[in-house]
Amino acid sequence: MDAFPPQHNGSNHYHYYYYYNAAPPPHNPNPQDNICNALTHEGKLNIQKPKPFHGHNPCKCRTFLTQCLIMFQAKPLTFQLESSCVAFATLYLQGIAFDHYMALLWFGSNSPVLSNWQVFTQELSSKFGVFDTVVEAKENLFNLWMRNNKQFTTFIVRFEKEAYKTCWNYNTLWFALCCALPQHIKNILHLISKQPSYNSYKALVTQIDHWYWEDCSKYSALQAPCNFFGNSNWQTGAAAGNQTTSAALPPNPTI
Q: What is the pLDDT along the chain (255 residues), one digit of tens a residue?
A: 455 455 555 555 555 555 555 555 556 666 666 777 777 777 787 888 999 999 998 888 988 999 999 999 888 888 889 999 999 999 999 999 999 999 988 887 788 999 999 999 989 988 998 766 667 677 777 788 898 888 999 999 988 888 877 777 788 888 888 888 999 999 998 888 888 888 899 999 999 999 999 888 887 777 765 554 455 443 444 444 444 444 444 444 443
Residues 82, 68: contact at Cβ < 8 Å? no
Instruction: Label residues 171-208 b or e (16+ Cβ within 10 Å = b).
Output: eebbebbeebbbeebeeebeeeeeeeebeebbebbeeb
The overall pTM is greater than 0.85: no
Q: Measured between alpha carbons, how far is residue 220 from residues 31, 148, 152, 182, 224 in Å?
A: 62, 16, 20, 21, 6
Query: What SS3 string covers the chain?
Result: CCCCCCCCCCCCHHHHHHHHHCCCCCCCCCHHHHHHHHHHHHHHCCCCCCCCECCCCCHHHHHHHHHHHHHHHHCCCCCCCHHHHHHHHHCCECHHHHHHHHHHHHHCCCCHHHCCHHHHHHHHHHHHCCCCHHHHHHHHHHCCCCCCCCCHHHHHHHHHHHHCCCCCCHHHHHHHHHHHCCHHHHHHHCCCCCCCCHHHHHHHHHHHHHHHHHHHHHHHHHHHHHHHHCCHHHHHHHHHHHHHHHHHCCCCCCC
Q: Chain-centre distance of CA 222, in angstroms?
A: 36
How far apart CA 117 and CA 120 sit, in angstroms, is 5
Residues 51, 64: contact at Cβ < 8 Å? yes
Taking every pair of Cα atoms in the chain, the longest distance, rounded to a whole number of angstroms, is 119
Residues 34, 77: contact at Cβ < 8 Å? no
